[in-house]
Structure 1
Amino acid sequence: MSANAAAAPAGGLLRNKFYQTIILSNVLLQIGIWVRNFAILFYVTDQTNNDPSAVGLIGFVEFLPIFVFSFIGGTFADKWKPRLTMIWCDFLSALSVFVVLITLLYGTWHMVYFATFVSAILSQFSQPSAMKLFKQHIAPEQLQQAMAMFQTLVAIFMVLGPSLGVITYQNFGIEVSIGVMGVAFLLSALVLYRIPRDQEIVKSESEASSKIWSDMKAGMKYVWRSPVLKSLGGTFALAGIAVGIAQTLGLYVVIERLGQTKDFLQFMLMINGIAMLIGGGAVMVLAKKISPQKLLAIGILLSSLCMIGMGISTSVPLTLGLQFMNGLGFPCIQIGISTMILQWSEESYVGRVNGVLSPMFMGTMVLMTLVAGELKEVFPLVGIYSVAGTLMFLGMLLLVPLFKHKPLQVLTDNSK
């Protein structure tokens, strides 16, 4: 733990310059991401007449790079200066978006997939760098509260983001939507200059000549030696299968099970976002009273039950109610995961731990986004969602033995 984090006052989270900057940067990124998500989704459905394979491909090009580059990005995050890494990632994301905009102006619509693809790759270098900075600049006792506040911001955009994306696309078209994305990413890069400069990384001669592959193997061994991180990986894999199915086929729940138009999806997500906002606030209050592993288990249990219910339901009020309950559990999942990774990882391994665990979730998720459209052609949505919810429940059961573990005990075991 760095001196910066250790010296952070217990009640001064919002006065922390690093935290203020990360929040502002994330606001800009959320604007770009939500405009991207809905503009590209609606644009692709308009171009392909709601083709399930084309819709599934959006998820595939977003999550495949995450699976492929997560481990590499996490390893480099432990070697590179995290502040500069984040700045360059946002700048390059903006640059790639403007390249896509130019190609759209000259006629090839398939390039919208490229914007998502490049952004997903760069996020795998930026995200673990942000986690590393959290470890450096946030006091240990504030980590779960910091993650809860961060998740609350995400929830706000779950409410506002869908409408922002839909309004931008429907009123201004795909070109303006792509332009908004690029400007948002560029402004985020500029804002990140407010973060205190990275400390110089001093390496011995042997460390300087070490191979990336050696660092990767060290990260895998680190996770394997930790019973908590190892079990978390199993939960990630099962959850990835379930989320990959639900996220890809959510549009068809709206159209086929509820008999609504695709525009109704934004209201589903707004309900989810309102619940996330409430859930994030509740977690902030309970942050010091419940362990992150229990918090994660509660969130996954809620998600599994709601997933099964939404697949069965043909009632709009019931589905919206289940979506609300699912939203209440989502902050528990996100905050629990982030806190567990930070609490059970030494600072020098944060990037690699994130890089080892994320592919376990993203790998299965990528696979399911690729085949979900094909599964829908063979199996009913009710059966698909029921299986997905059951797998999510099994992932929750893997967390139960971890309730007794304490972060200090696990770190001590890993240091042997």
Structure 2
Amino acid sequence: MWAFIRGNPRFVKFWVGMWFSEFGDWVRNMALIYLVMDLSGGSAIAVSINMFCEFAPLVIFGLFIGVLADRWEHKKTMLSAVFIRILLIGLLIAAVALQSLTVVYAVAFLSAIGTVLFRAPSSAFTMRIVKKEDLRMAVNLRQMSYSTMFLIGPPLGTLLYMGIGTAWTLFLILVLFTINFAFIASVTLDKMEKKASSAKGFGGVMAEMNDGFRQAWMNRMVRPLLFSNALFGLSAGLSNVLSIFILTEFLDQPKETYSLFVATQGVGMLVASFVIPKVKLSRPALLTGGMIVMGLCSMGMMSYPHYLVTYSFVVLFAFGMVAFNISMATLLQTTVDMSYQGRVTTTLQTVGTGTMALMMLSAGWLHELLPLQAIILTAGSAMLLGGMLLQMMYSRVKTEAQEKPLPL
């Protein structure tokens, strides 16, 4: 790892900048969830609407942004996205001043557009500053920073919101995003070969969008992810909204312990980010195993109403998530051409986030109608089914590869 860091100074700048970006995201996310809970009186429906607003832009604009990410210069696109996120802090200040849930929802929606625009070119950006043989290490380091922020972001975000107040918390977010902007701006990129002129107008965008989806569908390693990501989104949509109610209803804990719940998952992810890369399994095997583990642990979280049981399954769930995330990111960067990274990535994200957003919007109402245990059991079953589906589809790919070699 240290040899990689010494030999890739441009990636290090990008990586350090991402620490500030992810910390800013977590501080903002925790402030938003507590603000929504406070303004709505703890309404599950309000939490559903807010989370729907945070993910809906990827469903609505994801494929379109994927085309733009492949067309536009990667660095300028990412910097523009960070600038949008900085500007939206001002609108969030207005939402707090007006005590308006509607404005909070608008900020969540618009911020999500900036986040999609930031993430879509990040894979190709990494490929331009890291050699192909080092991409897996780059993915591991990105997972490490993400896991660490998962650990420290929620409790720090909670302490900031409760301790220094909303105004200073928002100012800190502004500073963190500005530092992220500066680090990305400092990264120099090698010149790319000049792309063939893209067809202009709406018709040209649609043609490239369809081409991106076709690339995802025709790639035998990517196609299974289209199906599994839909089931992943179904499960995550229900779980993300209702996880805070696992604490307040199932474990009878105050809502402030939500930061501890998320931090526990962060501990698991951080440990897993060191352990999983050492596991000698193929990417398909890690993808499959990771999803199966997440499904079983989702159901296990509500197997017995004691916080030690729930939190133990949260840690194991984190191992499955890290295995899934690292394997999918590495697979995409090694089997998909750079010119299609934005479109293929956003195609997968749109499929997963589409079902996630629908479930997020429905979760609050389902919680009013059905027992919490039944909904979480359904979420875990969907994740388990996704893992089993991956196993069947990749087994078929392996069989075909015996006749026509395909890297696994």
TM bin (shorter chain):
over 0.9
Q: Does 1:129 align with 2:115?
A: no
Aligned to 1:6: none
Quote how far apart the aligned CAs of 1:206 are.
6.6
Quote how far apart the aligned CAs of 1:227 are.
2.4
Moved more, 223-232 or 36-45: 223-232
Aligned to 1:194: 186
The question of whether the paired residues in 1 share the 8 Å contact of 2:333 and 2:341 is answered with: yes
Output the CA distance in 2 between the equivalents of 1:12 and 1:278.
20
Quote how far apart the aligned CAs of 1:49 are.
1.2
Output the CA distance in 2 between the equivalents of 1:101 and 1:234.
40
Read off the aligned partner of 1:268 and give its amino acid letter.
F
Q: Does 1:319 align with 2:310?
A: yes
Read off the aligned partner of 2:277 and give its amino acid letter.
M
Aligned to 1:76: 68
Quote how far apart the aligned CAs of 1:202 are.
2.4
Residue by residue over 1:181-238, the C-alpha shift from the partner in whole angstroms, topping out at 9 and shown as x without a partner, is 2221122111111111462662445757881111111111111212221111000000
Q: Does 1:39 align with 2:18?
A: no
1:315 to 1:129, Cα distance in 2 relative to 1, 3 A = same
The question of whether the paired residues in 2 share the 8 Å contact of 1:13 and 1:142 is answered with: no
Quote how far apart the aligned CAs of 1:55 are.
0.9
Output the CA distance in 1 between the equivalents of 2:123 and 2:35.
33
**Which of 132, 146, 152 is the equivalent residue of 2:138?**
146
Read off the aligned partner of 2:178 and give its amino acid letter.
L
Quote how far apart the aligned CAs of 1:355 are.
1.7
Pairing 1:1-20 to 2, within 5 Å after superposition: 11-20=3-12
Q: Does 1:331 align with 2:322?
A: yes
Read off the aligned partner of 1:313 and give its amino acid letter.
Y
Read off the aligned partner of 2:119 and give its amino acid letter.
Q
Quote how far apart the aligned CAs of 1:343 are.
1.8
Identity %: 25
Aligned to 1:394: 385
**How large is the RMSD of aligned CA atoms in angstroms?**
2.3
* 5+ long unaligned stretches in structure 2: none
Output the CA distance in 1 between the equivalents of 2:36 and 2:10.
38
The question of whether the paired residues in 1 share the 8 Å contact of 2:139 and 2:330 is answered with: yes
Residue by residue over 1:284-316, the C-alpha shift from the partner in whole angstroms, topping out at 9 and shown as x without a partner, is 333xx3222211112111110111111333111
Read off the aligned partner of 2:348 and give its amino acid letter.
L
Aligned to 2:366: 375
Residue by residue over 1:247-292, the C-alpha shift from the partner in whole angstroms, topping out at 9 and shown as x without a partner, is 1000110011001011111111111111111100012333xx3222
1:10 to 1:35, Cα distance in 2 relative to 1, 3 A = closer
Read off the aligned partner of 1:299 and give its amino acid letter.
G
Quote how far apart the aligned CAs of 1:60 are.
0.5
Pairing 1:108-257 to 2, within 5 Å after superposition: 108=100, 110-197=102-189, 199=191, 202-204=194-196, 211-257=204-250
Q: Does 1:260 align with 2:253?
A: yes
1:76 to 1:413, Cα distance in 2 relative to 1, 3 A = farther
Moved more, 63-72 or 112-121: 112-121
Output the CA distance in 2 between the equivalents of 1:403 and 1:10.
36
* 5+ long unaligned stretches in structure 1: 1-8
Output the CA distance in 2 between the equivalents of 1:86 and 1:387.
37
1:176 to 1:111, Cα distance in 2 relative to 1, 3 A = farther
Read off the aligned partner of 1:298 and give its amino acid letter.
G
**Which of 276, 288, 297 is the equivalent residue of 1:297?**
288
